[in-house]
Structure 1
Amino acid sequence: MAAIRKRQGKYQVQIRIKGSPPLSRTFSARADAKAWAREIEGDAERRGLPMDRRVLDTLTVGDILVRYRDTITPTKLGAVREGMAIRVLLKHGLSKVPLSALTVSRVAEHRDQRLQTIKPASINRELAIYRHAFETAQRSWGIPLAENPFALVTKPRVSDARSRRLEKGEWEKLKAACLRSRNPYVLSMVEFGLETAMRRGEVLRVRWRNIDWEGRTLHIPRSKNGYARTIPLSVQAINILMRQSNAFSSSENLVFETTEDAIKLSWQRIVRRCGIVDFRYHDLRHEAISRFFEKGLSVPEVALISGHRDYKMLARYVHLRPEVLAEKLARLSQEGS
């Protein structure tokens, strides 16, 4: 039970729960003291076990992130990228906040500060890391958190839908700039992405053993959404792979023996060199998926290639050109006449 007494103008709360050391804390307002007492007692009742919440005074947000980075992040497909993101999060003032002082309002304040320098989509990715780290701390590590403030804070609205495709003449500029790149793999990767709609990370993980030359398919053991898929390869995609085969030495080898960081840097230089504005590497996936539909492939066929399990999400990648559809309608009219 909780006992509240006033001392020197402040309110001291002491809580005794059977099987747990006594907990105490001092507040300026009696209402805050009562609220804290109700929270502790309710938490102990819900969980059915006594908990020593003094550990929350000694652990910080950064401690949770470091443990998460060292134990959970390595098991993920995007471990390198998440590790880099957590390294950035550890530099923020929020990482030094004790868990006992962490509230939804504190998280909201941090969110608003970050919104001054980065976009809402980036904020939401950071909040997702925090949220999962604290869920893990609650469920698996026995950290006696009454709530997960990162799950309760309102996420900023994101309106970052992309519709960017290669305009007339841009592919020629892009290809020429890729040819001048010092990275010998970047052009083949770009061309392969346009033929397969594969993500950059998926292309970088392709190994020779994943290719079925006879069946003209490529097996992707694990994609971003965690599922495997096998995609058909066009004649052009096969030719691109054959160009790389002169470096083949083992079926375990990567087809494109470069790194994600190297490709990112090369891409930045390429688009700057050729003067193409607002065209990201991931827009190649939009371009490829749109081309598949313009060639007449059905929704299930394109979804099989792209790996989308939700047709609504697939629709976000489709940006058909009206002039292409006009030509198709004209052909159909001629065939029907």
Structure 2
Amino acid sequence: MASITERGPYQWRAQVRRRGHASQSKTFATKAEAESWANMIESEMAWGAWVSRGKAKTATLCQALRRYETEISRRKRGSVQEASVLKIWMETALAKCPLVAIRTLDIAKLRDEWLEAYKPATVLRRLAVLSHVFSVARKEWGMESLPNPVELVRKPEPGDTRTRRLVAEVHLETAERVRNPDRRAQDGELDRVVAASESALLPPIVWLAVETALRRGEIVSLTWEYVDLPHRVIHLPATGNGTARDVPLSSRAIAILRSMKDRGRAKKSAPRDGAERSNFIFDIRGDAITRAFERAVARARKIYEDECRMARGTPDERFLVDLRFQDLRHEAACRLATIFPLHELARITGHKDLRMLTRYYPQQEEDWAHRLA
């Protein structure tokens, strides 16, 4: 049964005792609030729907984030990227709040602040990670009554998918292309990036990415065990979408991998992130590739601007501007689309939704019209 007692000015203590359940009590500012809470607890106990709110009251968001990182996040392939998102949440003011005290309004306010500084896709990723933290706490950590404040937050619409392609260098010398018959005019930006790179591993990684459409994570996970040079194919047992696939290798990709084998880059490395790493082709982390690529692009752009200034020319506003490592996959897919039909390209790139692949194929309305004629 429930008992309501006055403990002082604006303090009413509600206590509920019921056989088979631990005694529950809580203090409120008004008697009406105390009675309402007591009736709710009694009803839940009577219908067998009551669960303790103690853990959710005492556990802070920061504690939940740390536990999530230890028990859940470190088992994921993208643990390194997710760790940075968890760190961002730990640095917010909400991290000090108990889980049960975090409201949808608090999340929405933080969402709006982030949208002023970051792209919608970045904010969406952060919200998704926090939502999963609450879901795990409710399903696996004994906090069944804990609501998920992220579920009711209006999610920002993601921006348009990046379609950045490589820009050809306008003053690429014809003689240089004759000396390098395999060179494409579109490779102008990558030539500059490779030349400006201070990393020995970045050049082969860059060229392999643009030849195979491999994701960054798939490249750093490559081992010689799954590389079949005689049959010109790479087997990927674990990919970005969770399914295995085989990727054909061009002559240029074969040459890159053979050069890596000759240079002896497939050395055994020390265990990293709790997993045994050995026989990896590129002993480098994904985030290190991104940083090295960004630095190389910045250096290449500066060198290009200096050359244009000395030649009294105007730098191309597109050349080496807003170029990211992920753009290499889009570039590779566009090039492969000129060779393979849609269903074959899907098997190479690993896309499950064929609609996502249509952007890699150029518009062919005129060709269709000629067929009808």
TM-score by length of 2: 0.77
Q: Is the 8 A contact 1:21 1:52 kept in 2?
A: no
RMSD: 3.0
Q: Is the 8 A contact 2:246 2:348 kept in 1?
A: yes
Deviates more, 1:78-87 or 1:61-70: 78-87
Identity of aligned residues (%): 34
Q: Deviations over 1:35-61 (max 9, x none)?
A: 755765676678x46433122221111
Deviates more, 1:117-126 or 1:279-288: 117-126
Q: Which residue of 2 aligns with 1:24?
A: 25
Q: Which residue of 2 aligns with 1:309?
A: 352
Q: Which residue of 2 aligns with 1:256?
A: 282
What SS does the aligned partner of 2:209 have?
A: helix
How far apart, CA to CA, are the structure 2 residues paired with 1:41 and 1:155?
36
Residue type at the aligned position of 1:219: H
Q: 1:208 aligns with which of 212, 217, 224?
A: 224
**Are 2:212 and 1:196 aligned?**
yes
What does 1:1-337 correspond to in 2, within 5 Å?
8-9=9-10, 12-28=13-29, 48=48, 50-169=50-169, 171-248=187-264, 252-275=278-301, 276-295=320-339, 297-315=340-358, 318-321=359-362
What SS does the aligned partner of 1:218 have?
A: strand
Q: Is the 8 A contact 1:20 1:51 kept in 2?
A: no
Greater C-alpha radius of gyration:
2
TM-superposed deviation, 1:4: 5.7
Q: Is the 8 A contact 2:15 2:25 kept in 1?
A: yes
What SS does the aligned partner of 2:150 have?
A: helix
How far apart, CA to CA, are the structure 2 residues paired with 1:319 and 1:260?
25
What SS does the aligned partner of 2:151 have?
A: helix
How far apart, CA to CA, are the structure 2 residues paired with 1:43 and 1:78?
40
What SS does the aligned partner of 2:247 have?
A: strand
How far apart, CA to CA, are the structure 1 residues paired with 2:46 and 2:321?
58
TM-superposed deviation, 1:155: 1.3
How far apart, CA to CA, are the structure 2 residues paired with 1:280 and 1:32?
56
What SS does the aligned partner of 1:254 have?
A: coil
TM-superposed deviation, 1:112: 2.4
Q: Deviations over 1:115-154 (max 9, x none)?
A: 3332221111111111111111111111243421122322
Deviates more, 1:101-110 or 1:286-295: 101-110
How many equivalent residue pairs? 327
How far apart, CA to CA, are the structure 1 residues paired with 2:262 and 2:299?
29
Assess, with a 3 A threshold, how the Cα gap between structure 1 residues 222 and 40 changes in structure 2: closer, same or farther: farther
Q: Which runs of 5+ in 1 are unaligned?
A: none
What SS does the aligned partner of 1:149 have?
A: coil
TM-score by length of 1: 0.85
How far apart, CA to CA, are the structure 2 residues paired with 1:311 and 1:39?
51
Q: Deviations over 1:70-90 (max 9, x none)?
A: 111111001122122212211
